[in-house]
Amino acid sequence: MSYKHCEHCKGGYVLPGTPKGEMRDGAYFVAGSQAATAESESAAESKRRAIVLLTDIFGLPLVNSKIMADRFADSLGYDVWVPDQFGGWPIMEASELDGKLPQRPGEKLSLLTKLAFIWLLIKRIPRLIHSRPSVAGQRIQTFIKKLREERGYTRIGTVGYCFGGTTAIGLASTELINSAVICHPGGFSTKQIAQFKVPTSWQCAEEDFSFTPKLRNETEAILTSQKNIEHEFCDYKGTVHGFAVRPNLDIPESKEGFEKAFEASLSWFKKTL
């Protein structure tokens, strides 16, 4: 599916479309499309698999995560869940970051813009503490345990964007999931990488203030040394942090990277789930 630009969606880089799922117990849910089930896989087998999509700092209020969940459900035929990592208190609203982050590699921001961004972070300290990675991660672990117990899923994949990528990294060292796609993640420790138990696919921006070249190289070196755990790194020229879930569709490289990262995520789950 290719997204066309929507004039009414330009502010905040909101993806066009209307979510077709529903809220269940505080999480967004969309059932897997039976039409997408592979010929070699029965509907019963497909229903034992699920995707848990982990949002960026904007959480469930930003429609993008729900639109992406719908796309995964339509393309894979698996149920998709988008839990609330932030306990009803998202760290930011998408519109608050308009004009405060670069949209192309090499783009420089003014000192005033940088100061505005820092001030915004300071104001959000209570929310950052409320949903620091260890706390948000525990919320998601509890959610996934409940999914397995109540829904009977036997294989679960996670796809995490930005903050959600950090959460996915934490999950990859547990036995709660079977595969992970990590898109331009937030901060994490390389010690976590050495504890991975599941295959991981990394969708990487050309320029990322969070997942820096140094951190990426260290991460890749650790994963390469773990020869029994599969991994891949996919790079997208002309992209910056956030492109895989909140792209500026007016920029051709951003739009292309967004679409290719989604296709790579589909391929990874088809291969590892």
Query: Residue 237: is its pLDDT beyond 80?
Result: yes
Query: Domains, the chain, ranges and CATH?
Result: 13-272 (3.40.50.1820)
* Other residues' Cβ atoms within 10 Å of the Cβ of residue 95: 13
70 versus 93: the higher-pLDDT residue is 70
Sheet architecture: strand order including 200-207: 22-24, 27-30, 79-82, 49-54, 155-161, 179-183, 200-207, 231-240
- Cα dihedral 254, 260, 266, 268, rounded to 10, equals -110
CA–CA distances in Å: residue 141 to residues 83, 133, 163, 179, 246: 11, 12, 15, 14, 25
pLDDT by residue (tens digit) across 207-225?
999 999 999 999 999 999 9
pLDDT at 227: 86
Positive or negative, the Cα torsion across 174, 176, 182, 183?
Answer: negative
pLDDT at 6: 33
**pLDDT level of residue 200 (50, 70, 90 thresholds):** very high
Residues 86, 131 contacting (CB under 8 angstroms): yes
Could you tell me which residues are beta bridge partners of residue 203?
A: 183, 234
pLDDT by residue (tens digit) across 148-176?
999 999 999 999 999 999 999 999 999 99
Whole-number mean pLDDT of the chain? Answer: 92
What is the rounded average pLDDT of the residues 55-62? 96
Token reading at 190: 């390389």
**pLDDT level of residue 1 (50, 70, 90 thresholds):** very low
13 versus 38: the higher-pLDDT residue is 13
pLDDT at 22: 98
Among 4-8, 105-109, 117-121, 128-132, name the one with the lowest average pLDDT.
Answer: 4-8
What is the rounded average pLDDT of the residues 72-80? 96
What is the rounded average pLDDT of the residues 186-200? 97
pLDDT at 95: 82
Q: Cα(113)–Cα(219) distance, rounded to whole angstroms?
A: 31
What is the rounded average pLDDT of the residues 134-155? 97
Encode the chain in three state secondary structure: CCCCCCHHHCCCCCCCCCCCCEEECCEEEECCCHHHCCCCCCHHHHCCEEEEEECCCCCCCCCHHHHHHHHHHHHHCCEEEECCCCCCCCCCCHHHHCCCCCCCCCCCCCHHHHHHHHHHHHHCHHHHHHCCHHHHHHHHHHHHHHHHHHHCCCEEEEEEECHHHHHHHHHCCCCCCCEEEEECCCCCCHHHHCCCCCCEEEEEEEECCCCCHHHHHHHHHHHHHCCCCCEEEEEEEEEECCCCCCCCCCCHHHHHHHHHHHHHHHHHHHHHC
